[in-house]
């Protein structure tokens, strides 16, 4: 049986992933209030299940599984479908600042580029959007994504390949339009 001290250690370890969980919740719900509720529900479920063997592995991946399952349960109980992915206030994907970041023109161009990428991701079908976010924005391995989505790793790889191909098409077409009318 877990002691109160070990439960508090687990709770603190789970809190280290709160920002990533919130980003994923925004990806799933597209609503700030619903995302906050989903993070809270995930955290409560995780703390209740902290002494289960599944928590011994990759805690972040396990928390994402708990969140996705909670979201799927909520979605099943709603009459209307939920939309995926909103990138409000998104930070640079690489998170790296350099000397050029102080140049307002460079900052503007990077912000514009990020917005175009996020808009392109938003055009993808649900299964592709979710997999792109898990791999390219959250940095999960193929195996971890397979665990989160409860599908084979081969399916993850093929969906990701198709999703990236569609992203390239969308971004290429938008670039062509921008050159013509830009």
57: number of Cβ within 10 Å: 11
Show me where the domains of the chain are located: 7-78, 104-181
Does 2.60.120.10 match the CATH number of domain 104-181? no
**Residues 143, 153 contacting (CB under 8 angstroms):** yes
Return the number of other C-beta atoms located less than 10 Å from residue 5's C-beta. Answer: 8
pLDDT at 81: 41
Q: Which of 13-27, 38-52, 66-80 has the lowest mean pLDDT?
A: 66-80
Token pair recorded at residue 24: 């994923």
Token pair listed for 57: 């592995």
Give the lowest-confidence range in 7-11, 36-40, 91-95, 156-160: 91-95
- Is the pTM for the entire model greater than 0.75? no
The residue to which tokens 């000397």 are assigned: 99
Question: Which tens digit of pLDDT belongs to each residue from 100-117?
Answer: 556 787 777 788 788 888
Q: Which of 31, 24, 30 is nearest to 139 (CA)?
A: 24
Residue in this structure with the two tokens 């830009």, named with its chain if needed: 182
What kind of architecture, by CATH, is found in domain 7-78? Orthogonal Bundle (1.10)
* pLDDT beyond 60 at 79: no
Q: If DSSP states are collapsed to H, E and C, what string results for the chain?
A: CCCHHHHHHHHHHHHCCHHHHHHHHHHHHCCHHHHHHHHHHHHHHHHHCCCCHHHHCCHHHHHHHHHHHHHHHHHHHCCCCCCCCCCCCCCCCCCCCCHHHHCHHHHHHHHHHHHHHHHHHHCCCHHHHHHHHHHHHCCCCHHHHHHHHCCCHHHHHHHHHHHHHHHHHHHHHHHHHHHHHC
**Do 94 and 113 form a contact (C-beta atoms < 8 A)?**
no
pLDDT above 90 covers a percentage of the chain that reads 31
Per-residue confidence band for 182, with pLDDT thresholds at 50, 70 and 90: low
Angstrom distance (rounded) from CA 67 to CA 138: 14
Is the pLDDT assigned to residue 93 strictly greater than 60? no
- The answer on pLDDT for 159 being more than 80 is yes
pLDDT (mean) for 138-167: 92
What pLDDT is recorded for position 87? 44
Task: Report residue 161's pLDDT band, with 50, 70 and 90 as the boundaries.
Answer: very high
Query: What pLDDT is attached to residue 105?
Result: 76
């Amino acid at each position: 049986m877990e002691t109160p001290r070990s439960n508090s250690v687990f709770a603190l370890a789970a809190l280290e992933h709160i920002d990533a969980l919130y980003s994923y919740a925004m990806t799933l719900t597209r609503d700030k209030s619903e995302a906050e509720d989903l993070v809270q529900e995930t955290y409560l479920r995780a703390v209740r299940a902290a002494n289960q063997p599944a928590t011994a592995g990759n805690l972040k991946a396990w928390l994402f599984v708990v969140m996705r399952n909670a979201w799927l349960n909520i979605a099943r109980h709603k009459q209307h479908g939920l939309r995926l992915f909103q990138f409000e206030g998104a930070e640079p994907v690489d998170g790296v600042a350099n000397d050029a970041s102080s140049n307002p023109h460079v900052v503007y161009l990077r912000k514009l580029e990020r917005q175009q990428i996020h808009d392109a991701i938003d055009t993808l079908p649900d299964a592709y959007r979710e997999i792109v976010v898990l791999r390219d924005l959250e940095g999960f391995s193929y195996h971890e994504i397979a665990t989160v989505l409860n599908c084979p790793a081969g399916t993850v790889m093929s969906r990701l390949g198709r999703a990236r191909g569609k992203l390239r098409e969308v971004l290429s077409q938008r670039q062509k339009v921008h050159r013509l009318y830009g």
